[in-house]
A and B are shown apart, each in its own frame.
Chain A
């Protein structure tokens, strides 16, 4: 099964609202990363949080990591229609170098 599992699978909000997506994983990790994908093609890296970090910010993005619960969340504040995309978390396990992706959250921001 996938190392990372996102929740919810789909999220629909109005422009200006905040969007929160969650990710759970199973093993010990070096870091956790969030990616964005438009139109089912290449993914774009958004943010990386190391296992010894608890929170990280980048522009309108805020990521938290709770290694005791093996979970992370991605918050997008003041969402825009252009934020509509699929968002994936990916984990880099301590036992190897595989970068494992979850199933993703489809975010729709309505104008």
Chain B
């Protein structure tokens, strides 16, 4: 595709339910990032994938959060037993390489609301 695609655009879920957020990076991009942004705040790093290397999961806020990247392409961020404080916009970005001096391209995000 032409850019990073995230789905769904918006998700409303009940507290305690699990949610899956999807990210389709730009074809050929080996690095993929997930961030979380609360209203009016900066971007909180969650996790990044680089090729076949072990992902950097150091930003995941709790063990309710997990992410996968299958076949080096599509990534899914899963939040189990959602809480109200999980409400935020979840942003995905990809870049040609996480090591070299390349820019990151962002999707439009998934706005998650936990009620």
Binding site for B on A (CB under 8 A): 2, 30-31, 33, 35, 40-45, 48, 50, 88, 90, 92, 96-104
Q: B38 → chain A, closest Cβ, in Å? A: 10
Chain A, interface SS category: strand
**Given A92-B101, A99-B45, A104-B42, 17 other A-B contacts at CB below 8 A?**
A33-B103, A40-B39, A40-B109, A42-B91, A42-B106, A43-B91, A43-B104, A43-B106, A50-B101, A88-B43, A96-B56, A97-B48, A98-B58, A98-B59, A101-B35, A101-B45, A103-B42
| Closest 7 pairs between A and B when the two form their complex, measured CB to CB | A97-B98, A103-B42, A101-B43, A45-B103, A42-B106, A42-B108, A43-B106
Contacts of B48 in A (CB 8 A): 97-99
Question: Known contacts A40-B37, A88-B43, A103-B41; is A97 also within 8 Å of B105 by CB?
Answer: no
Most buried by B among A40, A42, A100: A42
How many B residues touch A, CB cutoff 8 Å? 30
